[in-house]
Every structure is written in structure tokens, then in C-alpha cells.
Structure 1
Amino acid sequence: MAKVTNYISEAFTELKTNVTWPEWAEIQRLTIIVAVFSIIFAMITFGIDKGFEVLVAKIYGFLKN
């Protein structure tokens, strides 16, 4: 149990002293970029999915007749 406690203590010490944290403005900017690209990617995926849905429906409609 002492090893686990020591590991956690050292991890927190390293996070406080050795990690360079970004400024708040940079965090906000990068968060907005990630959100915008996530929405764009979701819209592209939705469009491709709808396109395949229409394509498959037309193929089944053609084969059914």
C-alpha cells in the first residue's frame, strides 16, 4: 500500500512542478477548435450515412421491381 501512496504523491508532485500548463485563453481557443471540428465531422458522417441510405433504398427498390 505504501508503494501506491508514494506513486500517487510523486505523480502529483510532478504535475505541479514539471508540467507546463497552457494559459486559460489557449485552453478556450483549443476547446472551440475541437468543438467546431467535432460538429463538422459529425455533419459529414451524417451526410455520408444519409447518402448510403438513399443509395441502398434505390438499389432495393430497383431489385424489388
Structure 2
Amino acid sequence: MKVTNYISEAFGELKTNVTWPEWAEVQRLTIIVAVFSVLFALITFGVDKGFEVLVAKVYGFLKN
């Protein structure tokens, strides 16, 4: 019974006490998050490839 009461009260809080953003703001912020996510992924990919090349050169140097 406690869980059901908790869920009911949580939905009541969301309906009455939360200020929801306008749809245009949601769209704008979603685009910003998507752009930064792609940029972060590309930076991470670049660093990973850089370390891959570096490690390959070190192993190549040690192998000779």
C-alpha cells in the first residue's frame, strides 16, 4: 500500500508543483544536448585514435 500511495503522490506533485518548460525550449535544449553529445563523441574518438597510433608506433619502435 505504501508504494501505491507514494506513486500516487509523486504523480500529484508532478501535476501541481512542477513548472514544465515550453515546447520550443524543450526542442532548443534537446538540440543543444544532441550537438554537444556528438562533439564529445568525436573528441573521444579522436583521442582514442591518437592513442592507438601512439601505441602502435611505440610497439613498432620496440619491435625493431
Query: Could you report, residue by residue, the CA deviation over 1:22-46 in whole angstroms, capped at 9, with x for unpaired residues?
Result: 0000000000000000000000000
1:37 and 1:43 mapped to 2: Cα distance? Answer: 10
Segments of 5+ residues of structure 2 without an aligned counterpart are: none
TM-score, length-normalised on structure 2?
0.96
2:40 is the counterpart of 1:41: yes
TM-score, length-normalised on structure 1?
0.94
Q: Write the mapping of 1:1-65 to structure 2, written as runs, cut at 5 A.
A: 2-65=1-64
Q: SS state of the match for residue 20, structure 2?
A: coil
Q: SS state of the match for residue 18, structure 2?
A: coil
Q: SS state of the match for residue 6, structure 2?
A: helix
Query: Could you report, residue by residue, the CA deviation over 1:6-61 in whole angstroms, capped at 9, with x for unpaired residues?
Result: 11111111000000000000000000000000000000000000000000000000
- Deviating above 6 A after TM superposition, structure 1's stretches of 4 or more consecutive aligned residues are none
RMSD, matched Cα: 0.6
